[in-house]
Chains A and B, each alone.
Chain A
């Protein structure tokens, strides 16, 4: 009864706001009226809870008000700010692990992969977050996280690269950005506008983080995940890694008891590892075998993760690995190919 009254009340507020919102379809371009900030707060109050009386108001309002917003291209600078907000929220749930050498290593692998992706010049950031859970996350603008629990289950730099490249593919394809845009609808333009003035730590920053985190909890579509698998494998192969790293990780995860609590959120938000393996097996051409030559130089993974001692957990003096015999002189890396295209039909 009470719930019902709240729903009716909320809908009434929405109805009152909609004409205003619809009257300024170009609000994302910075032509807000003076009344907008007040409306924004009311909207946030109404929509922020996501679900009142079982009705997902945020999504409903998003559909109702976002026709223009959904098709607007979000400038890269705004995408990056938005992603930083979500990343800060994620780090609020689990901080980074403290081993600077390992953090640096993950950034080197990730940045190299990204340099061979369709968006090589984003300000890419990579981090190992301190959770025993198995998962990896990407937020818009190039922020990629992998949990300690997942790193523990990898065997090699190629496997770690397979995981990071999958997340990079989500950023390249703007999967999470599009999801946030859909969910936030009209609100997003308002949030992004006040994000510019208020900064990430302000009210708007917390609001975008909440929408983004909700997306990470809900997960992307099955097609988007399988697409990220395909594109990720290609990114890893283009960067010179053997392309079966992701498949090997999925095989490990397929063998992890699916009722293990460490797997719960990962399994809720992704197709099953068996499913993804089957899709990869039927997609990978035999020609990829030739891309998988043994590479002894990658034994540095063990030095960083397996044989690390407490001493090695202290901040590393040098950013790059010091002494690997220089391979024969190399030409400048060839420019990466254009974005790994969406699969042709």
Chain B
């Protein structure tokens, strides 16, 4: 993850291109993209439980495009209030809802309408009434201070130009002692200013 964003990066254009990209993934998850998608990838390369994924609707799991596995970090406590930042079509969100159970709450946050629709439909299909999906982005979470037990996220924060703002928002909504369990990409070398400024590289 590149933490420093060039001051002249067109963040609104980046936001639109990210939304367009993930709207395409929602509509056509089997299309040609530069990243893996789907439940087979999640199980074989990221260690998700294939049998558990098979219990979720294909409309939820096929657009999955995570880069790690927040559920592998630690089990989500029963009754916990969990927020998934950039919940996409809902794979991690619905798994979280199953793990926390009906006494907990799983709140998805996503800025792409097509993904939110899939996550809501998936929750209905699975009978997960303690799932809520909200429109927002990582830099402005529609949640009260210290109101969340666990924040999860998978492959999203690298797409946010204002990362320090997003990190501050996560810290704001988590209660003291609350857990951060995120997956994202990191780079092993320092990126040049030209590369950081290239929106095509940010979005793929």
Q: Decide whether A and B assemble into one complex.
A: no
